[in-house]
Every structure is written in structure tokens, then in C-alpha cells.
Chains A and B, each alone.
Chain A
Amino acid sequence: MSIRDCAMQSKAFAALKDVYDHRDAEAAKWRAAGKKVIGELGCDVPDELIMAGGMLPVQICADPNRPLVETDKYLEYAFDPAVRAQFEKIVDGTYYDQLDALAISNSTDVIIRVFLYLREIHRVEPEKKVPPVAFIDWLFTRHRIHQTRDEFVIELFRQQVEEWAGRSISDEEIRAAARICNENRQALREMAWLRHGAEVRIGGSEALVIIGAGLFMDRAEHTRLVRQVTEDARSWPVLAGPRVFYTGANQEDTVLYEKMEAAGLVVVGEDTDWGDRFYDRDFNLDYPVIRAIVDRYLLREFSAKKSTPAQRKEALDREVDAVNAQGVVFYTNQYDEVATWDMPKQCKSLESRGIKHITFGRMLWPVAKNEDLDDKLAGFAAELKGGVR
């Protein structure tokens, strides 16, 4: 168990853990109060717009224990297994009962395909209990014409959100929501100082819970709890062990991090959307609102899915340096493998700077299905401590 007693004794942490463990609960409360809930698939749906419309954004998540009855019917097996499990809940009626609509951003190829499939299901099998779907057709190439196009795309999405909200949404409402999101990001950054700094008082698993709860609850309340946890964590014991950075597949739960921590590794950062990338870059309140949204989502650190190997090499170097990691854990799931194109050059760069790394490729999902993971992690920890793997 990597989440320590000191964390569980914090009322704020316990509250966040409760949301993290019971991800449908806050959404159910919102809907019971007559308010709308919008699901998000992909990491580039602008929360600011949904919140400005008075609705709760919640991230679509997988259930690792659910048989993929519907998914096996519709999706080819070459899909990312976590997305396959997410798809099951979208198509089997679960999210139809929990959401008012689903917003999908084209954050990966796989998710674009999911959108196309859901649109087609709506057309050819309209009786199927699938929530209404909207797609955000971001372009991630950092050129002026694509920035302009993205502003058009986000304006379209704003109109869609207005339709869901049943009213127009003013620029001021968007700015107000953006302030809440910026405050939330700032609170998470302050929390992360206790993880990224020389003295690590918040472990990787604990951080995943703290950050991840924000994907399922009211953002202002999340900020309040994060600030309280940060205060509490200042007195938590310092974690000892080799500092590692995690890159690769999104981890929707803490299983892998707990394994790393059980091996003696201290996970001080990650580049995933359920981790540190969630609070990267603010909405610039001085910009026109649509441009500010584009600026925030287009110019975050490069994701593995929408960048070149050279961009990703530089990104990883920056991120590893920022948290002073001694080692890097690369981890990709079978069929979620685009990041593997980046790794050879990333590894070379790390090696040239004396940073050790370990690669887990073609991993089964969920994490627990992989039998020899613990031994390999223990070996890596020993290597980082000066032993031989």
C-alpha cells in the first residue's frame, strides 16, 4: 500500500480519495440537483467552456473488471485497451444514464475513431443508449493557420455547449470559469512543489489521487481540498529512494505507481493527462476568450500522440530536469504504442546525461495482468541505488 496513513489521516485527502474511488458520485449529485454533466473523452476538451455553461465536466474512465461485450462487437482489437474499456461504458448504457452529453477531443487517433464509430452508431442503430456526442477537431501543428482554425473549431464547440446549456454563454462567464481553472492549476502546482522538490513529501500514488479527483468533481471544491492537502502534507514524512519520472500510458488508477513505490522508487513526476500534464499552462485572462482557450490547449507540453520524436525528446529532457529525476520509467500498453516511436532517441538523450531508464512495452491492460513487473521494477530500483540490475 503506497498511500500512507499520514495521507489518509488528512480529512482533505480522504475526501479526494473518496471522489477518486467513487467517480460517479459527484456527477450523480449534480444531476440530482437538476444540473447537467458532460463527459469528456480525450484530454483536450476545454473545461472552461463546460463550466461556464453551468455544467460539470467529468472524464470518461475505464472499468477494468467489466467484460467487453459491446466493445468486442464494434471495435477492432488494435485499439488502445484502456479506450476499449472506456468505450464499453459509453455503449453499454452506463454513461447514457450518467451524462447529458459526451464531448470528444481528437487527442489521439484512437479517440478520433471512437468518435466516428459513435456517430455511426447513432446513425445506424439509433435505439442504442449512447449519449449525444460532440467532437472538437483540434489541430495540433503549431502554425498560424492552425491556430486560426482552432479558434474557429472552439467557437463551434462554444455553440454546442450553449445548446447543451440551453442559453448563450458570455465571455465573462468563460473568464470566470477560467479563473476557477487557473486557481485549480495553481493549487496543484503548489501541491506539486512537495513532490518535485528536493524533499518529497507527496508520493506518486498520493499525487495521482489528488490530481485525479479533479477530473470528477466541482473544480472550486477540488481547489479547496488540494490547498488543504498541501498544508497537511507539509508535515508528512519525507520519502526516501531513487527519484523516477514516469512517461507513457495514462494511469487511471494507482496500481502501477503502487508497484513502483513498493519496489522502493519515488515517482516524482509524469507527463500524463491523469498526472502533471493536467495542470500544465494557464488560460491567459488578458486574451480574447476563444484565443485564450486555444493558447492553453494548443501550447501545453507536447503529448506523445501529436508530436515528432524530436519534440518529444526535448520535452522529456525538460520534464526530467524539472523534477531532478534519476531514472525514467517508460510504459506503453499493447496497441497504444505510438509513444514507442519516440523512445530510442529519448533513451539516447537520457543516457548521454547519465539518467537511467527502464522500458515496459506491449504491456497488458490492466496493469495487474503483467506477472513479472514487480521483479523488474525491483531490479531497476536496485540499479538506481547503485546495484546491478
Chain B
Amino acid sequence: MAEEKKAPGSRSTVVKKLKATKTVSVYQKEWFFAMKDRVEKEQCDFAILNADVPMEIFRAMDIPFVVNQWWAAICGAKRMTKKYFGLMQANGYRPDLNSYDAQALAESFDPDDHKVDAEGNPMGPWGGLPKPTLCVTRLTGDAQNKIFGLLAENYDAELYTIENTQARMTPLNWYELAPDRWEELYDTDRIDLAVEELKELIRYLEMKTGKMFDMNKLQEVMDLINEQEGWYRKLRDLIAQCHPVPVTVVDTINAVMQAQWQRGTRWAADHAKSLYEEVKALADKGEAAVPNEKLRMMWLGRGMWQDFAFYQRFEEKYGAVFMWSMYLAMGADAYIRNHVEEDPLRALAARFIGMEDFLHMPPWNSSWFLQQARQNDIDGVVYMIPENDMQAVEGSYFIKKVLEDAGIPVLAFHADPVNPRKWNAETMTGLVEDFIEKRVIPSKESKQQK
């Protein structure tokens, strides 16, 4: 996770005020150590899940797990990236391929992962992951079989893969259909298959762990997720209607992303509520994240973990505030599935099969980004296209086209979200400043004149 510090030039007064951001940072660490302690004491099964795996099943079955991408962010924040690049190379692997997804794999090569240094500090991130017995991924990209296959081999764990199908039916308003009308959103056969995949996963986990799956427990988990994501929806809508906004992506990304990995728990639902109430109180007081807010910016792409302060570099000079990222908005629009009680497995299937497509498949991503840009009165979009990760290649031409056709300027650039060696803050700041001066400000002025 990024450190919570203000960047030079930032006038934000809110960054350090949000209790919810600090709470989640503290909680995730406490949670991790408690979970690790349990796994080590009970010698129970422990799973690494890719982000798009239906974690709800594991939650309902009380099987401890971490999410691969959440752990990658922890590794990044603990400055493990350079060491892990070296470990990948030393073992014959390309360190620059799918680097975001391969952090846990790199860690699995580290002989010092569970050791402490001369001063007694743990050498692995938070003392290292417990040894997993299960590595579970969805085949949403060719590299998934590879990374999780190797991870399973290195840890002598079992590999379990869930297949991925492509949408034939692609109604543009997925964000309207998803909560209640998902049968209209997906091809019926795709949901049918996903339900069968879930049943197979459950049967496998029952055999592997000796635990029985309980449908009532899944329903409880699903209800808690709806509650949590409902608060995110209210929060997203609140921020969208505030001029100026009370918080920026620097506040919301960490507060939401970290809590998302706890979804399906009472804690996460309560945290989402507290986050909303905290921001609502700021909004009610008329507090501005950037008091001279002039330009509302949208961030497309994964979080800039290695340089979170980047988002704040344009506040003082231009009054430009990054106020939208996918992390909060996905919570608001992609997760909620109402009427769970009618068929919890089908509701879950209808959640997980779309998750990658909402973000990475044209036209679903492009149509949603446009709808969100409009709802949030966005003046300009900065779009980071990942390098060397085909899974995140998502039709940047179409995204740019749909936004620019609607009169919203877009700056698209390539970067690696976890590799500081490929990130030049000065160059990127200059690029965004140039974009703001030459595209965003003139576009806004032109709209105002009309």
C-alpha cells in the first residue's frame, strides 16, 4: 500500500484526516498476522487466490486465503520489488513479465522469506506468507496457468483452475443490469457453466479440507457484500455530486481496495459504512480536498503503488484533483447482486464471470468509463496502460475514442505499476502538466464558453 503522505505541491487537507484509511491499514495487518498465526497453529489449508476467483466460497467455508494482487501491493509497499526481480532472474524467469501478478511467485523463491535480519526484523514482507496448500486462479489470461502452476509447484501446493468464457451478448449498460437483471446481462449458458464450476470448486474444497459447504453461510457472505458495496455506491454518488470533492483517489483507493479483500465479513461492511459517514460529514461541512478545485480528473488503470503522491502533484498548480478511480466505482457498480436468497450460487456466478470483462473488455469498459466520466463531471482522463500484461490490454483505442468523441480529453501512456525502475516521476509529471495545459484547460474553457 502507498504511504499516506502529502506530495510537495499538494494542498489537500484531508489525506491524513480519513480515519477509515488508517483503520483499514491497521486492520489488514492485524488480520494478516492473526490469519498467519491460525494457519501455523492449526496447520490448516491456506489458499492464494487470484483477484477474480470467487473468494466468497472460501469465506463461506472458513478457508484462510490471501488474494494475489493484494499481496503484490503489500510486497510493493514493503519495497520487495527489486529483490523479487533478482530472484525471478536467478531462477531463470523473466522478471518483467506480468510483474504485478508474479510477486507471490517471486517470494516463493526467497530462501530468507521467513527469516529475520541481524536486527531482528523480518526479511520477508510481514514475515512472509504462510505456506499455501492451494493455489487457485481463473484462466482469464495465458499467464495464469503459468504463474499459479509454478506457485503451486514451488510450495508443493495443489493447483486449481477455473475456466473463463467470452461474452457473446454485450449490452452496453451492464452497470444498470448487474444488480438485479443479470440474466439479461449474460448469455444464459455462461451463467449455467459458471454455476457448475462453482459446484465443482465446492466439491473439490470439501474433499481437500474436510469441511462441508453451507449454502446459508454463503448467503450471509453475499448479503454482507451487498451491504458493503451498497455503501460504496452511496459514497461514489456522493463524491460525484460534490463540487468541490471532499476526498481524492489518494484517500479512496486505499480505503476501498484494502477493504475489498475483506469483503463478505461484518468488519468490511461496517468499515464501508464508516468510510461513507466520514466522507459525508466532510461533505456536509463543505470541506474540499483541493480548495481551489478547478479540474476533475479521472484515473484509468491500476493504482500507482510506487508513487502514490503522483496523484497530488497537480493540485496546487492547476487545481486538478484526481477524484475518480476504478477501485471505488467498481465497488459501486460491479459487485452488488440483489435477491441472493433466490439462488446464492447463481448470484455469485453472475458476479464473478463479469468482473474481468467490466474492466478489460470493450465495449463494457469503454461504455462504463464514459458513463462514469459524465456522472462525475470529469474534465480530463489520465490512462495508464500496463506493459507486458496482456490480461490488462483492454482496447485503449476504443476507450480513448469513446471519451474523446464525448469531448473528454484523454492522456494515454504506458507504465508498469509495480516497477519503480520503469517509472520516471519527473517525465510523467511533465507529461500530465502538458496534457492539462494543452488539452484539459482549453477543453474546459471551451465548454464553459458554450
A interface vs B, CB < 8 Å?
A: 73-79, 106, 108-110, 112-113, 115-117, 119-120, 123-124, 135, 137, 139, 141, 143, 145-146, 149, 152, 305-310, 335, 337-338, 340-344, 347, 361
Contacts and interface: CB of A to CB of B under 8 A. Distances in A.
Nearest to B147: A341
A108 B146 contact: no
Interface in B140-164: 141-143, 145-147, 149-150, 153, 159, 161, 163
Interface in B388-436: 388-391, 393, 395-398, 401-402, 414
B142 A116 contact: no
Interface in B376-397: 385-391, 393, 395-397
A113 B390 contact: yes
A120 B363 contact: yes
B401 A124 contact: yes
Contact of A341 (B146, B390, B397, B414): B146
Nearest to A305: B142
Contacts of A139: 163, 165
B213 to A, nearest CB: 18
Contacts of B94: 337, 340, 361
B166 interface: yes
Given A76-B385, A120-B363, A340-B97, A141 B163 contact: yes
Contact of B388 (A78, A119, A146, A152): A78
A309 B147 CA distance: 9
Contact of A141 (B139, B168, B363, B390): B139
Interface stretch (B1-9, B193-201, B255-263, B313-321): B193-201
B159 A120 contact: no
B91 interface: yes
A249 to B, nearest CB: 14
Nearest to B389: A78
A135 B166 contact: yes
Nearest to A108: B142
B92 interface: yes
A149 B193 contact: yes
In the complex, the 5 A-B pairs of residues with the closest C-beta atoms, listed nearest first: A344-B92, A341-B146, A308-B149, A338-B142, A109-B142
A75 B386 CA distance: 13
A152 B189 contact: yes
Interface of B: 91-94, 97, 139, 141-143, 145-147, 149-150, 153, 159, 161, 163, 165-166, 168, 170, 189, 193, 196-197, 200, 361-363, 385-391, 393, 395-398, 401-402, 414
A308 B146 contact: yes
Contact of B91 (A112, A307, A344): A344
B166 A137 contact: yes
A145 B162 CA distance: 11
Contacts of B197: 145
Given A306-B145, A308-B159, A341-B93, 11 more contacts: A75-B397, A78-B386, A78-B387, A124-B401, A135-B168, A137-B165, A141-B163, A145-B196, A152-B189, A309-B146, A341-B147
Given A74-B397, A305-B142, A342-B146, A337 B97 contact: yes
Given A145-B200, A309-B149, A309-B153, A341 B362 contact: no
Nearest to A335: B388
Given A145-B200, A149-B193, A341-B143, A110 B165 contact: no
Kindly name the residue among A120, A145, A307 whose own CB sees the greatest number of chain B CB atoms within 10 A: A120
17 contacts: A74-B397, A78-B393, A109-B390, A109-B391, A113-B395, A119-B170, A137-B166, A139-B165, A141-B139, A143-B200, A145-B197, A152-B189, A305-B142, A337-B94, A341-B97, A341-B146, A361-B94
A344 B363 contact: no
A106 B193 CA distance: 18
A310 B393 contact: no
Contacts of B398: 117, 120, 124
B150 A309 contact: yes
Contacts of A141: 139, 161, 163
A263 B419 CA distance: 39
A272 B390 CA distance: 21
Contacts of B193: 145, 149
A12 B226 CA distance: 68
Contacts of A117: 362, 395, 397-398
B397 A109 contact: no
Nearest to A112: B166
A120 B388 contact: no
Contacts of A335: 388
B108 to A, nearest CB: 13
Nearest to A123: B363
B436 to A, nearest CB: 24
Contacts of A145: 193, 196-197, 200
A152 B153 CA distance: 33
Nearest to B386: A78
A113 B393 contact: yes
A22 to B, nearest CB: 33
Nearest to A136: B166
Contacts of B395: 113, 116-117, 120
Contact of B362 (A75, A120, A338): A120
A110 B143 contact: no
Nearest to B391: A109
B390 A78 contact: yes
Contacts of B145: 306-308
A307 B161 CA distance: 11
A146 B164 CA distance: 10
Contacts of B390: 78-79, 109-110, 113
Contacts of B385: 76
A116 B361 contact: yes
B142 to A, nearest CB: 4
B30 to A, nearest CB: 35
Contacts of A308: 145-146, 149, 159
A155 B193 CA distance: 16
Kindly name the residue among A77, A79, A337, A361 whose own CB sees the greatest number of chain B CB atoms within 10 A: A337
Kindly name the residue among A78, A106, A306 whose own CB sees the greatest number of chain B CB atoms within 10 A: A78
A75 B394 CA distance: 9
A119 B166 CA distance: 12
Given A78-B387, A78-B388, A341 B189 contact: no
A152 B149 CA distance: 28
Contacts of B147: 341
B355 to A, nearest CB: 16
Contacts of B91: 344
Contacts of B388: 78, 335, 337
A76 B393 contact: yes
A28 B97 CA distance: 41
A341 B389 contact: no
A73 B200 contact: no
A82 to B, nearest CB: 14
B339 to A, nearest CB: 26
Contacts of B387: 78
Nearest to A362: B94
Nearest to B362: A120
Nearest to A113: B393
Contacts of B200: 143, 145
B65 to A, nearest CB: 21
Contacts of A77: 414
Contacts of B97: 337, 340-341
Contacts of B142: 108-109, 305-306, 338
Kindly name the residue among B91, B361, B389, B393 whose own CB sees the greatest number of chain A CB atoms within 10 A: B393
